[in-house]
Amino acid sequence: MRGLGRSADGRRSRRRALVTGASSGLGAAFAEALARRGFDLVIVARRRERLEALAEELRDRYEVAVQVLVVDLTQAADLQAVESHVASDAALTILVNNAGFGTIGRFAALDPDRDEAEVRLNVVALSRLTRAALPGMIARGLGGIINVSSVSGLLPGPYHATYGASKAFVNSFTEALHEELRGTGVRVQALCPGFTRTDFQERAGVASRNVPAFAWMTPEYVVEASLAGLRRGTLICIPGPLYQVLTALIAALPRSLVRRLHGITSRRALNP
């Protein structure tokens, strides 16, 4: 999909994409890639300075319109404001539900409030924004929703139980919508990246030094794979050959073995 389309009367019209969590990492890379394709943008996160600096850069470089929404998507009133924005935007063609974070450690020792916020962001905000976007996209017969999940959503995640479960929700939810949306012109994708160099690991407390160099991808690589996948209609997008092989193995091995091995590798990735 490109940022210029034709309206019913044949005139060229601009298309818009909304990206949550655009102040860093994958979200900022999505915003850049979509602006480069000619989309006007709405970029959403809590850190105003980062969003405004990105907006200015994208306006200058690609001559697109960029609106900034500074909100905390774990807060009901803020989420409601973004839902209204999404539902009333007749030019909204792509929604990237990217904002998310992970809590790492033994579940019994984690802060329950932070875990709840993780579910509110990774699950509740994602599903409510999808619900807000779909009626308009279906009526227009055009749209794409990218729900940023993780390879962690494809297997049980000892030492990141809530994170893995939140991403399993994203995968199952997106797969179900894919069937409901057949024939509507609206596409959905669950993007399942592996280790990607962003602020994510530091914020989650993962010891990045324990992850081998070959396992890392750049946000730009992941985003290009996702957008190419959306064009082709890929439902579960797993960027990178390493993770494609790994996830195929995970699907083939007994679940009990996968759980056990994942528990061992996850423990090693924790900070001492």
Interface positions with ligand NAP (CB under 6 A) = 21-27, 45-47, 72-74, 98-102, 121, 148, 150, 193, 195-196, 198-200, 203
Closer CB to ligand NAP, residue 37 or residue 50?
50
Closer CB to ligand NAP, residue 99 or residue 186?
99
State the angle between helix axes of 48-62 and 25-36 in degrees (0 to 180), rounded to the nearest 10.
20
- What is the smallest separation between the CB atom of 183 and ligand NAP, expressed in angstroms? 29
Q: Which value, in Å, is the radius of gyration of the alpha carbons in the chain?
A: 18
- CA 149 vs CA 2, 144, 194, 209: distances in Å: 23, 15, 10, 23
Using DSSP's 3-state secondary structure scheme, residue 137 falls into helix
Phi, psi of 16 (to 5 degrees): -125, 150
Closer CB to ligand NAP, residue 93 or residue 171?
171
Cβ burial, residue 206 (10 Å; 0-12/13-18/19+) = buried
Gap between the Cα atoms of 136 and 180, Å rounded: 15
- What is the smallest separation between the CB atom of 125 and ligand NAP, expressed in angstroms? 7
Let me know if 163 is a catalytic residue. yes
- What is the smallest separation between the CB atom of 45 and ligand NAP, expressed in angstroms? 4
Q: Catalytic one among 62, 163, 221, 243?
A: 163
- What is the smallest separation between the CB atom of 263 and ligand NAP, expressed in angstroms? 19
Closer CB to ligand NAP, residue 113 or residue 179?
113
Tracing tokens 């007994």 back to the chain, one arrives at 254
Active site members: 163
